[in-house]
């Protein structure tokens, strides 16, 4: 699956580079709120691409931190369950053979 992602990413990158190189001399107007500027299309595409990578990176970092936190919680739960299992095994081996430690009195 990761190979498919890298191939798609490489193809997208090639298309963006081809588009940018064919339109490198074009100037575009940029307007944002009250700010206005003029720049080359190549610079706008490059800055947009880098900004997109930065946003993707931040989301990835937060996702990794979320997974690590979840993994720590699972490890703590696993440790508690192992301790409980060990204590049950120890208490089960202390009872005489053939008797259930958690069953009540039986009428024979």
Are the CB atoms for 37 and 30 separated by under 8 Å? yes
Number of structural domains found in the chain: 1
Identify whether 95 is part of a domain.
Answer: no
What is the percent of the chain where pLDDT is above 90?
Answer: 37
pLDDT averaged over every residue in the chain: 84
Structure tokens at 57: 């990176």
Identify whether 1 is part of a domain.
Answer: no
39: pLDDT strictly greater than 90? no
Mean pLDDT of 67-88: 95
What is the domain extent for residue 72?
16-87
Mean pLDDT of 13-17: 84
User: Rounded distance, CA 6 to CA 3, Å?
Assistant: 5
**pLDDT at position 63, please?**
94
Identify whether 26 is part of a domain.
Answer: yes
User: Rounded distance, CA 68 to CA 81, Å?
Assistant: 20
User: Could you tell me the pTM of the whole model?
Assistant: 0.53
């Amino acid at each position: 699956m990761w190979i498919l992602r890298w191939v798609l990413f490489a193809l997208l990158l090639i298309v963006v580079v081809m588009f940018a190189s064919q339109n490198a001399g074009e100037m575009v107007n940029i307007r944002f709120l009250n700010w206005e500027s003029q720049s080359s299309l190549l610079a706008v595409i490059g800055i947009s691409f880098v900004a997109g990578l930065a946003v993707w990176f931040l989301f990835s970092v937060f996702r990794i931190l979320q997974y690590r936190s979840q993994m720590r919680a699972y490890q703590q739960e696993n440790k508690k369950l192992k301790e409980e299992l060990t204590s049950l095994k120890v208490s089960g081996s202390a009872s005489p053979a053939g008797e259930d430690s958690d069953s009540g009195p039986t009428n024979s």
